[in-house]
Amino acid sequence: MVEADAAPGAPRREALRAGEAEAGQRLDRALAARFPDLSRAYLQALIEGGSVLVGGKARKASHRLRPGELVELTVPPPAPTALQAEPIPLAIVYEDDDLVVIDKPAGMVVHPAPGHAGGTVANAVLAHAPDVHVNGSIRPGIVHRLDKDTSGLLAIAKHERAHEALAAQFQRRETEKVYLALLDGVVAPDSGTIDAPIARDPRNRQRMAVLREGRPAVSHFTVQERFAAHTLAEVRIETGRTHQIRVHCAFIGHPVTGDPVYGRPAPALGLRRQFLHAARLGFRLPSGPWREFTSPLPPDLAAVLDRLRQETG
Residues noted as catalytic:
147
- Residue 118 phi, psi dihedral angles, 5° rounding: -145, -175
Residue 253's CB is within 10 A of a number of other CB atoms, namely: 10
Phi, psi of 77 (to 5 degrees): -65, 150
Burial 187-225 (b: 16+ CB within 10 A, else e): beeeeeebebbbbeeeeeeeebbbeeebeebbbbbebee
Q: How far is CA 272 from CA 18, 46, 276, 300, in A?
A: 60, 48, 12, 9
Q: Which amino acid is at 196?
A: A
Alpha-carbon distance of 303 to 300, in angstroms, equals 5
Q: What is d(CA 208, CA 214) in angstroms, rounded to the nearest whole number? A: 10
Strand ranges in 6-109 using DSSP code E only, listed in sequence order: 12-17, 52-54, 57-58, 70-75, 92-95, 99-104
State how far the Cα of 299 lies from the Cα of 305, in Å rounded to an integer. Answer: 10
Helix (H, G, I), strand (E, B) or coil at 257: coil
Q: What angle do CA 268, 271, 273 make, to 5 degrees?
A: 110
Tally of CA atoms within 13 A in the half-sphere of 189 that contains its CB: 9
What is the C-alpha separation between 259 and 275, in angstroms, rounded?
7
Rounded to whole angstroms, how far apart are CA atoms 175 and 295?
16
